[in-house]
Amino acid sequence: MNQKYNPLFEPFTFKSGATIDNRIMMAPMTTNSAFENGMVTTDEHNYYRRRATGLGAVITACAQVREDGKFAGSLSAATDMHIESLRKLANTIKSTGTKAILQIFHVGRMGSARSLRGLQPVSASAVPAERPGAETPRELSDEEVREIIQAFGDATRRAIEAGFDGVEIHGANTYLIQQFFSPHSNRRDDHWGGTLEKRMNAPLAIVDTVKAAVKQYADKPFIVGYRLSPEEIEEPGITLNDTKALLTKLKQKELDYIHISTGHYMQSSIRNPEDQTPVLKTIIDTVGPDTPVIGVGAIKTPDNALEAMEELNLPLLAIGRELIAEPDWISKVRAGKEDTIRTEIRPEDKDDLAFPDAMWEYVQGNPGWLPIVK
């Protein structure tokens, strides 16, 4: 291995006491491949097994905490009946020597009546997303909000019983937790909304509930992370100042990491073109060195990864779409064969890449999401 890449392969120990072998993690990406009941399919086992070897940790695709919070093909951690299926997935990942982290979420207004078997999607307020065909959600009652918060704790218990090494709370990508924080989707005037501080209440309560479950049920170090999207383009939408306020609160929760969802690791503000400071730098400056930040976005080569670590002072990196295109990314870097890393996907590579059929169909229907060469 080229010695300049040594920093990528140093071990890292989280506040919880859990240690990963290196600084590279697999970013959570939907496979759209679970059974309709949320159980893990053989295709998904093959997909994760093909990519997990050598990574510090794998963060799975999102698993719903309630059955009214799913999309088609998502994993489920919604009932105790799902524990055995989740255990098999955790074992698949951990059999490679890699830590397994289950991402937990509720889809909120990004769901549809079709995927919810006729149920109306729910959200903080009855405001549809700004996307074609978006359905108007039903506003959750106070009691329902509290039930969903508890559901995140219950899902955490199931992850622990299934043998996962941690959970990532999915507060990003416009799903329900973000919907409570966003002034676009949250127009409430109660404990859960009305001011910036109140829009933080649901996300922070979920963190507290998850950490309480870990304290009660985990008998060894268990990782708790939080993923967020730093801005929204909607008006009104989440601003960097909003996010900095939330980060200040999250820092007090002693999380193992905060994972920032961006399209590129050097991405600047999407709301203020005049601000050319990388968003990740702003976030790292806000939380300080005691709260580990995971950077993600367009990391294709080990040189990209090294730049992200050195320029932004990032302790941890997540690689997403590049690991779909090149499952052997880690082994090639270790072997000094970084020049052979694939950055494009050819249809004839589908079997070698262990692509689930449902995921391949999804990719074909969303041109540009992956670098597929015809």
Q: Cite the active site residues.
A: 175
**Sign (positive/negative) of CA torsion 276, 257, 296, 170?**
negative
E strand segments, the chain: 12-13, 19-20, 24-26, 57-64, 75-76, 99-105, 122-123, 138-139, 166-171, 223-228, 257-260, 293-296, 316-319
Tell me: cis bond preceding 236? Omega within 30 of 0 counts. Answer: yes
Residue among 131, 123, 134, 143 nearest 68 (CA): 123
∠ CA 36-95-306 to the nearest 5 degrees?
95
Give the CA distances from residue 45 to residues 51, 87, 150, in Å, rounded to whole numbers and listed in that order.
10, 11, 29
Number of H-type helices and E-type strands within the chain? 12, 13
- Which among 63, 35, 31 is positioned nearest to 48, based on CA atoms? 31
Residues 71, 110 contacting (CB under 8 angstroms): yes
Q: Are 354 and 33 in contact (CB under 8 A)?
A: no
Rounded-to-integer distance, Cα 342 and Cα 340, Å: 6
Name the one residue in this structure whose structure tokens are 């367009």: 298
Helix (H) or strand (E) holding 199: helix 196-199
Strand ranges (DSSP E) for 216-338?
223-228, 257-260, 293-296, 316-319
Task: Classify 288 as helix, strand or coil.
Answer: coil
* Residue type at 260 in one-letter notation: I
Q: Are 38 and 345 in contact (CB under 8 A)?
A: no
State the Cα–Cα distance between residues 18 and 332, nearest whole angstrom.
26
The two structure tokens encoding residue 62: 């999102």
